[in-house]
Amino acid sequence: MVSFNPHPLMQAALAEARVAAAAGEVPVGMVLAGPDGSILATAHNQVEAQRSPLAHAEMLCLQQALAHVGEKYLTGCTLAVTLEPCPMCMAALCHARVARVVFGAYDPKSGGTVNGPRVANFMHHQPEILGGIEEAACAALLTDFFKGLRG
């Protein structure tokens, strides 16, 4: 059995988060890989650009991946995101039947995966969840962004 290495996916998600930060968005980035490990979609937060609270990286990436595969489910896929998914995004990931959710920084205030309501516990599909991957790098990106906003 081949063991899963989440770090390359998280490095790609961090690259997307940096794009978000450069655009003035909260620096959250993600990638979604198919069962074979190929990247199906990448995205970063675009809440400000789209003027929509729905434009979280996860939601945008799910839409791209679903269009790419032409199916309504992402069975066997792995998602890597730099911040613990919020309740809205975690519910969408469960509905899309993503197999594994890998995240970097924990979000004790707004998380919906291992913090907050733990949405997956109430869904029919419950993905495997791995938190804290490249946590220091993911958290530093967020901390630096918000320090810059506060002056």
| Tens-place pLDDT, residues 66-110 | 999 999 999 999 999 999 999 999 999 999 999 999 999 999 999
Query: One of 16, 58, 84, 134 is an active-site residue; which one?
Result: 58
pLDDT digits over 46-78, tens only?
999 999 999 999 999 999 999 999 999 999 999
Catalytic residue check, 58: yes
Distance from chain centroid for Cα 117: 17
Q: How far apart are the first and last CA of the chain?
A: 50
Its sign, for the CA torsion 35, 38, 44, 50, is negative
H or E segment to which residue 147 belongs = helix 135-150
